[in-house]
Amino acid sequence: MTGADPSPPLSRRVLGGAAFMIGATAAATPRAAAQQAGAAASVAGGITYRLVGRWDVGRLNRILSVDTPSFFGVPVAYSPARNAVRLYRVSYPSVVPERGNRPVTLSGLLAVPEVSATTLPLVSYQHGTVYGRQQVPSFPDQSPETQLMLAQFAGQGYALAGADYIGMGESAEPQGYMVKGSHQQACADLIPAARAVLQALGLAAPSLCLAGWSQGGYVTMALLERLEAIGLPVRAAVTASAPVDPWATLGGFLAFPRPNDASWITTLFILVAFSFETYYAVPGLARSVLKPEHYDVAQRAWQGAAVDPAQIPTALHDLVNDAYFDPAFFAASVLGRLLAANQAYRWVIRTPVRNYFGENDEAIRVGIGRLAMEFQRAFGNDKVEAISAGADATHRGTYARSVPAWKTWFDGLMAG
């Protein structure tokens, strides 16, 4: 879900994880054109891509040794990067399921390692919660979580794709936070688009793994459900701090608060209320959830406008209307029913999955972290394993510690 750092302005705070932080000539080949930053190249199906950066080994290793420990707050031993990485912003066609499959153009990242191999393993990474439209994978300078994935995976020979989601990146739509169908669509459509770009670059990536943190962990599980349903093979999926049941996650904050619940939890209700009102066409939903004195500033925050973070309440009782603290009311409400329908673990999972959780996570309870495994094991399915990132692992710490474990597991699968 998110995290909190009260210092930067709200529109610039990265939420996904422990804090809000929030030319070629006409005759040139697509591959040659794409090597020039800012020059767009096209492939079939309305897909375009352009080079937006190249990160050398030195920069990738600084991310691992300096930037990541500073941002995530925990020391972790990462495997050093071995190769430079080219970064492409991909534009690709998709649709909005909740709006009658209205066509849209979305953006995402494709990171290509500079290696001699022409067949690469591909990881689809799903990002955590953000307010700023450009705090997403295809703008990696603004996404510390993406930087870690680039340094640890792309820096060691993996191709890495990451959708910006509908309403983020270069998308013109409003943000659709935790809107399951839209998340599934955006991520599922990027996979063939990324493979088409790789093919244009003379590369192939037949083997696919999924990964995601926080909100992105939820999106990873939702994406896995979609890919299994359409028969697209996935070798393995991993998450960290994944709110696989949004109803239980948000309901717990309302009915059973913990002493260590993060002060930024209020922002989740803001994002959900406006996103669900917009995408599920429920006029007045946000007004029913949020107290009137905070409605305007909350709406501006959801829209990504600059607001004073001090104007956003940090106590749920100050932001959310009193009726929602009654568990029966919450469960029967439109918000509660939509959240319950958006679960991402109640199907027979066929892909090997590892869900990492932190025992000191201020956003995701241990029970939520173990929920997918416990549900699957309740009827005898052992495909899902829940793994603790440590007794002291916070929301950010869980991700920082999980990434090298993800890499070790994927490496073994690729070698097998």
pLDDT at 37: 61
Three-state DSSP string of 76-143: CCCCCCCCCEEEEEEEEEEEEHHHCCEEEEEEEEEEEECCCCCECCEEEEECCCCCCCCCCCCCHHHC
Residue 372: pLDDT band (50, 70, 90) is: very high
Predicted pLDDT of residue 170:
97
Domain boundaries, the chain: 10-237+391-415
The per-residue pLDDT for range 151-193, each reduced to its tens digit, is 999 999 999 999 999 999 999 999 999 999 999 999 999 999 9
Express each pLDDT in 255-299 by its tens digit. 999 999 999 999 999 999 999 999 999 999 999 999 999 999 999
Name, in order, each residue with C-beta under 8 angstroms of 364's C-beta and a sequence gap of 6 or more.
1, 214, 241, 242, 243, 249, 357, 358, 395, 398
Q: 10-33: per-residue pLDDT in tens? A: 333 334 333 333 322 223 333 433
290-330: per-residue pLDDT in tens? 999 999 999 999 998 888 999 999 999 999 999 999 999 99
Nearest CA to 372 out of 195, 233, 217, 256 is that of 217
Each residue's pLDDT tens digit, 49-91:
999 999 999 999 999 999 999 999 999 999 999 999 999 999 9
Proportion of the chain in helix, strand, coil states, percent, rounded to 5: 45, 15, 40
pLDDT the model gives residue 114 = 98
User: 182 and 280 in contact (C-beta within 8 Å)?
Assistant: no
Judged by DSSP in three states, 69 sits in helix
Residue 119 has pLDDT above 70, yes or no: yes
- Region of poorest pLDDT, from 37-41, 154-158, 193-197: 37-41
User: According to the model, what pLDDT value does residue 35 have?
Assistant: 47
Residue 360 has pLDDT above 70, yes or no: yes
Is-contact 234 210, C-beta < 8 A?
Answer: yes
Residues paired with residue 371 on neighbouring β-strands, in sequence order: none
Position 32 scores a pLDDT of: 39
What is the identity of the amino acid at 403?
A: V
Mean pLDDT, rounded, for 383-392: 98
- Give the helix ranges, DSSP H, for 3-76: 30-34, 57-62, 68-72
Going 401 to 406 to 409 to 414, the CA torsion angle's sign is negative
Rounded Cα distance, 241 and 228, in Å: 22
Q: Which class is 10-237+391-415 in CATH?
A: alpha beta
pLDDT at 36 over 70: no
